[in-house]
């Protein structure tokens, strides 16, 4: 039945594209629908060539409603002649380099179909990047994009709170995993924290930003993700410093931070026993597993430093028929017997795709981090300043936490990351126009 519904939705893409190209005002509703599809991603996605029980980062040729709407928006923008470039900035070109450097791993992969599932995912998330960027480029509608993201954060957090009070120990909200949810909230939460510091409670956007920020903090804490909880002070601390770089309304921002510190201290004290329990009573096997899987990754990299063992083929190479578990057991001093994924996205990419691909991914990540720094200066006198200020903290936390997690290879986590990259790319292109505008796009 789900495939029938998907087929009907797919058939609706051409008429929707025509409608959006004839009446651009409807594009905003399509964009809101795309963000709503993010909130119901798991319920609206289907897998072709499904490998449901494969313990890898891609288990099928996954397609979701969000990608159908991405396609409609992109096609409508192209029909209206507003599609200027397929590689709009240096970050997009770096992603292409990263993608191409992953391709040699296909020649050494044990299973090409399994590899194709990850390649397909990489193509689709770039489609999403282009859709968000093209929508912004065609409409300059920063306000709707931020409102949609704000709604996404609030919906996710309300689901986390509901699950928490229903007895779920580590709720995941709209994300497939609690760690992915925590990373998503620590990526987006600082953006709305920066918006609150900028606008206070005097506007509706400021009030809802304060709500989204508070809920994002609660959701992150209730994920009980040790990495995310450890990254929270860093993310929000960097964002706070970036906001004061604006050198405007400094005393007002300081007064807004003081009650937050008080409320935050009370909240942390209330939840501290559970946090301490999570840190102190975590099974020793969890830490041991991270070390053992890292040893397996090192053996794979040593054998295939240029190509890795094949994109999305990690789990195949952890089968008993492969020697990596045995070789890693010699390194750690005991027998291993599992097929888990190495708990860092960096070692995973290096083991599957080789050192060149890892290098390209790191440069791609770092390019957008430095872009945040550039935009702090360029947008200092605009109402969009809080966006790079918030993302500077959010991206820092995500990149560092990824040394402990592989969730940046999950679909929804990548979608959120690409969404923020597209926003930064648009701001880079239009920074001079935004600085010159009398009517600011965010109020």
Strands 45-48 and 61-64: antiparallel
What is the model's pLDDT at position 439? 46
Q: SS3 of 64, please?
A: strand
Residue 299 placed within a domain:
no
Closest by Cα among 169, 263, 148, 280 to 217? 263
Which secondary structure element, helix H or strand E, spans residue 265, and what is its range? helix 250-280
Say how far apart CA 289 and CA 291 lie, in whole Å.
5
432: exposed, middle or buried (C-beta count within 10 Å: 0-12, 13-18, 19+)? exposed
304: its two tokens: 């295939």
For residue 2, what pLDDT is reported? 66
Q: Is residue 72 part of a domain?
A: no
In the DSSP assignment, the letter for residue 382 is S
The residue range of the domain holding 231 is: 89-282+347-436
Quick check: 87 and 93 in contact, CB under 8 A? yes
pLDDT at residue 154, as a whole number: 95
Contact assessment for residue 434 and residue 441, using Cβ atoms and an 8 Å cutoff: yes
CA gap 210, 196 in Å, rounded: 5
**Length of the chain in residues, anyone?**
443
Q: How far is CA 308 from the centre of its chain?
A: 24
* Residue 406 maps to a domain: yes
Alpha helices in 306-436 (DSSP H): 324-332, 345-353, 355-378, 386-401, 411-429, 431-436
pLDDT the model gives residue 247: 63
Q: Residues 45, 64: contact at Cβ < 8 Å? A: yes
In sequence order, the β-bridge partners of residue 63 are: 46
At residue 1, the pLDDT reads: 62
Q: Which pLDDT value is given to residue 239? A: 94
- Asked if residue 143 belongs to a domain, the reply is yes
Number of domains in the chain: 1
- Quote the pLDDT of residue 150: 94
Q: Which of 416, 380, 312, 393 is nearest to 34 (CA)?
A: 416
Q: Can you give 85-123 as a three-state secondary structure string?
A: CCCCCHHHHHHHHHHHHHHHHHHCCCCHHHHHHHHHHHH
pLDDT value of residue 291: 80
Question: What phi and psi values does residue 64 have, to the nearest 5 degrees?
Answer: -130, 170
Output the pLDDT for position 83.
74
Q: Give the pLDDT confidence score for residue 112 in this predicted structure.
A: 92
pTM confidence score: 0.91
Burial tier of 116 (Cβ tally within 10 Å: 0-12, 13-18, 19+): middle
- For tokens 């995310």, the residue is 228
Tokens of 77: 């923008």
The strand pairing partners of 46, in sequence order, are: 63
| DSSP per residue, 160-212 | HHHHHHTT-SS--TTSSSHHHHHHHHHHHHHHHHHHHHHHTTSSHHHHHHHHH
Eight-state DSSP code of residue 380: T
Assess contact for 174 and 226: CB atoms under 8 A: no
Residue 107 lies in a domain: yes
By C-alpha distance, which of 56, 39, 59 is closest to 47?
59
Helix (H, G, I), strand (E, B) or coil at 67: helix
79 domain residue, yes or no: no
Tokens 């083929």 sit on residue: 313
Q: Is residue 17 part of a domain?
A: no
**Rounded to whole angstroms, how far apart are CA atoms 353 and 416?**
23
pLDDT digit of tens for each residue in the chain (443 aa)? Answer: 667 777 777 788 888 888 888 877 888 989 999 999 999 988 888 888 777 778 888 888 888 899 999 999 999 988 877 777 788 899 999 999 999 999 999 999 989 999 999 999 999 999 999 999 999 998 888 999 999 999 999 999 999 999 988 888 889 999 988 999 999 999 999 999 999 988 888 888 989 999 999 999 999 988 888 888 889 989 999 999 998 887 666 666 766 776 666 666 656 665 666 666 655 665 655 667 788 788 888 889 999 999 999 999 988 888 777 777 676 665 555 555 666 788 899 999 999 999 999 999 999 999 999 999 999 999 988 889 999 999 999 999 999 999 988 888 989 999 999 999 999 999 999 887 777 664 445 65
The H or E element spanning position 155 is helix 142-165
Question: Looking at the domain assignment, is residue 308 inside a domain?
Answer: no
Torsions phi, psi of 309, nearest 5? -100, 0
pLDDT of residue 438: 44
């Amino acid at each position: 039945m789900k495939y029938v519904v998907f087929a009907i939705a797919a058939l609706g893409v051409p008429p929707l594209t025509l409608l959006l190209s004839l009446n651009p005002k409807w594009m905003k509703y399509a964009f809101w629908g795309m963000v709503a599809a993010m909130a119901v991603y798991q319920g609206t996605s289907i897998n072709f060539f499904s490998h449901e029980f494969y313990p890898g980062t891609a288990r099928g040729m996954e397609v979701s409603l969000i990608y159908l709407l991405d396609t409609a928006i992109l096609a409508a923008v192209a029909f209206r002649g507003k599609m200027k470039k397929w590689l709009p900035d240096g970050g997009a070109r770096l992603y292409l380099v990263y993608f191409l450097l992953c391709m040699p791993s296909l020649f050494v992969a044990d299973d090409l179909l399994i590899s194709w599932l990850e390649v397909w995912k990489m193509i689709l998330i770039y489609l999403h990047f282009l859709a968000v960027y093209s929508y912004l480029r065609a409409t300059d509608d920063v306000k709707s994009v931020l409102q949609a993201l704000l709604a996404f954060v609030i919906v996710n957090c309300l689901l986390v709170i509901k699950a928490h009070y229903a007895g779920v120990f580590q709720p995941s909200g709209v994300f497939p995993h609690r760690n992915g949810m925590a990373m998503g909230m620590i990526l987006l939460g600082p953006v709305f924290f920066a918006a609150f510091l900028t606008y206070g409670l005097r506007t509706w956007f400021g009030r809802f930003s304060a709500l989204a920020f508070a809920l994002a903090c609660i959701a992150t804490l209730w994920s009980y993700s040790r990495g995310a909880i450890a990254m929270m002070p860093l993310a929000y601390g960097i964002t706070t410093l970036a906001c004061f770089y604006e050198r405007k309304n400094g005393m007002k921002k300081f007064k807004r931070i003081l009650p937050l510190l008080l409320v935050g201290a009370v909240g942390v004290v209330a939840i501290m026993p559970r946090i301490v329990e999570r840190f102190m009573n975590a099974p020793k096997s969890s830490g041991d597993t991270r070390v053992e899987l890292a040893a397996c990754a090192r053996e794979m990299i040593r054998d295939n430093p240029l190509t890795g063992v094949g994109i999305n083929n990690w789990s195949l190479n952890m089968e008993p028929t492969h020697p990596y578990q045995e070789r890693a057991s010699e390194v750690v001093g005991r027998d291993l017997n599992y097929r888990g994924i190495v708990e860092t996205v960096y070692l995973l990419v290096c083991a599957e795709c080789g050192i060149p691909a890892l290098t390209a991914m790191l440069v791609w990540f770092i390019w957008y981090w430095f872009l945040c720094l550039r935009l702090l200066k360029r947008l200092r006198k605009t109402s969009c300043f809080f966006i790079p200020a918030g993302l500077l903290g959010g991206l820092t936390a995500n990149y560092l936490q990824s040394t402990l997690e592989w969730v940046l290879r999950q679909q929804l986590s990548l979608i959120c990351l690409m969404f923020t990259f597209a926003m930064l790319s648009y701001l880079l292109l239009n920074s001079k126009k935004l600085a010159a505008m009398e009517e600011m796009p965010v109020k």
